[in-house]
Structure 1
Amino acid sequence: MLQNKNIVLGVTGGIAAYKACALTSKLTQAGANVQIIMTENASKFVTPLTFQALSRNPVYTDTFEERRPEKIAHIDLADWADLVVIAPATANVLAKIANGIADDMLTTTILATKAAVYVAPAMNVNMYNHPVVQENMRTLYDWGYHFIEPGAGYLACGWIGKGRLEEPESIIQAIEVHLQQKNQWHNKKVLISAGPTKEIIDPVRFFTNHSSGKMGFSLAEEAALMGAEVTLVTGPVSLKTDNKRIKRIDVVSAKDMLEVMQREFPKNDIVIKSAAVADYRPKIVYDHKMKKQPGNLTIEMERTTDILETLGKQKQQQFLVGFAAETDDPITYGKTKAGKKNLDAIVVNNIGQAGAGFGEDTNMVTYINKNLEETEIPLASKREVAKQILMQVNHDMKDDKN
């Protein structure tokens, strides 16, 4: 998997820097082209000459050491890389990257690269568990960084606990597994709906809901990382999409979303409807602002077309996944909904639980397939929940083929 891959290995200032020597050697033996960037403090543990001998390449230590006048070194290296590995990653470098600080060769390169970044933290157990370190790691994870969890055991500081740099063989294995997963959907087309809809009353007012679109956008990002060509149909949200593998289509109303989803549905292999679409809309839409009148106001509402049920009736080869955001008996309702709407799977979440409501950065869900097998996905960032959902979808699709 690593043959001829261009890998930038960032080594930071921790005692675990000595393990990076073995990692460099094993990456080179695996056929990778390895360029090393060392922080100033890393050089206090291992000399650059050691890494130069192991990688057979010069070692970068200084942002302002420009060896080729026609190129800017950290930009050239950032563009060259197929992937970047930071091992060991100290609390300091995690904080810098999470807060956009670029004050050395490593951080400037990382902020400039478009390559996948793999982070292998190593530090004292209490540092690792500190809330600010955990928050910085969550931030980077939500940006799409891949973490290789540290091991637990006796640490150089004398403490026993989590914080020991994972072994070089395990780091390489984790990278290879991810690269393999990344290519799983390279020939797949995925259609995802996200966010709320707005149902217009007049030029000033509308009905909507609290959906932020974060869950659907996380699903789109993770599907793109798996190699899929993604179409994201989103209601009005403030979120941005930068991934070139994601085609974004913005809509406003339930009617708009229905039209786009029906148009795109036949072109796709996997369809995930995570949007919170309005069930009702005003029967009359006024061209002019409704003036305030004495007394109460009654607005007559009519049903919108059920998008998921419509797609379920039209389904041919597509793997169709729905979402059910509930507060009362969510599992029972989810199973009923999945059968009624001809779904291959449904993702159920109890929005009454702490950390699982609209607008949250986290979620916890139950994935239920068409055989009514339940898989609990515990509280985690929406990016991690999205990854787990897609892994379940991939598993069920393989079972269907068998």
Structure 2
Amino acid sequence: MLAPLRHAAFRRLAAGRLVNMVGNAVAPVALAFAVLDLTGSVRDLGLVVGARSLMNVLFVLFGGVLADRVPRRLVLVGSNLLGALTQAAVAALVLTGTATIPLLLALGAANGVVSALAQPAAAAATPQTVPAELIQSANAVIRLGMNAGMIGGTALGGLLVAAVGPGWGLAVDAVTFAVAAVAFAGVRVPAARGGAARTGVVADLREGWTEFAARTWVWVVVLGFMVLNAALAGGVSVLGPAVADATIGRSAWGLVLAAQTVGMVVGGIVALRLRVRRLLLLGVVCMVAESLLLLGLALTPTLVALLAAAVAVGIAVEQFAVAWETSIAQHVPADRLARVYSYDMLGSFVAIPLGQVAVGPAAAVVGTRDTLLILAALVVLSVLGMVSSRAVRRLEASTPGA
């Protein structure tokens, strides 16, 4: 099951993504409470996190083109160095008491651009670091490492916020970007396009769109996740901290997020051993469980209930994540993989800033509890929509050893 770790490039890629996840798990907890400490406004929190998500959406297609044009190692190293600079600036502002919402908006937007450059390259690099028969195991191992990093990161974020303030959590995120850049520097794989003739950016985007649109199962799942991700982003990243502040407390909220990642680790172990033909269908069906955390926040915001819901959600989410990345890697040519990933990310993430910005005003009108219930219903409906597609139900994965 751990055969991918025999390959040096894969080990370095997995290490870099693990370190990235430690910082990325600390940052949302720290940033959320930094904004709440600054203004106490859920609307302001939605604007800050929404600005980052919006820039991520706007630049992710360019990130896909870049990752298919130049060595993915260079994209990963450069984007992480820029990420270290932006997060260090945010941390300095918060620690010195000079942070303002406009400054946090601007730096969050800059960090969103950096993330947009890195994401397609990181996703598309995995199949280049292992033989074809190890792609599913490689995806599962990377997810396990990232989830282990998230466990420590989310718990550390909650503890740092409670003990010394959110600024130190943001400083930790800046350091992890720099460490990840060092790890990615060792990921030496062939350029995806080899000696292929260069074309213009528009032509590259068109070619990526053709690959994306030609597969019904791809765009159906992406459409479903437009709804699902918007609901989760608003419910968990914006309303979640506000509910936690009024009920279980900040440190406990960090534990809830860490518990979800514990579930993801368990789910990753299951995914390592899982060999089924309809892998994507299984993953999509599992996403119904995402509604559990939203329902817990709405109906029973106690630590025990939220911990249990978070673990169940984590197990389910990991089945989809491995199934999706494996399906994409097995069915899309390597030289177009980053661009297909970028269209996937664009479609899946485009509604996130809308959900983050809109959820505050919605909660002010109908109440936090009812807003969370509506979001949970949207998650269930999005899964039903994806499963209704025959292409999603029928897609078969390669299952070595089955």
Q: Please indicate the TM-score interval, normalised by the length of the shorter structure.
A: under 0.3
Higher relative contact order (CA 8 A, sep 6+): 2
- TM-score, normalisation: structure 1: 0.20
* Greater C-alpha Rg: 1
Is the strand fraction higher in 1 or 2? 1
- TM-score, normalisation: structure 2: 0.20
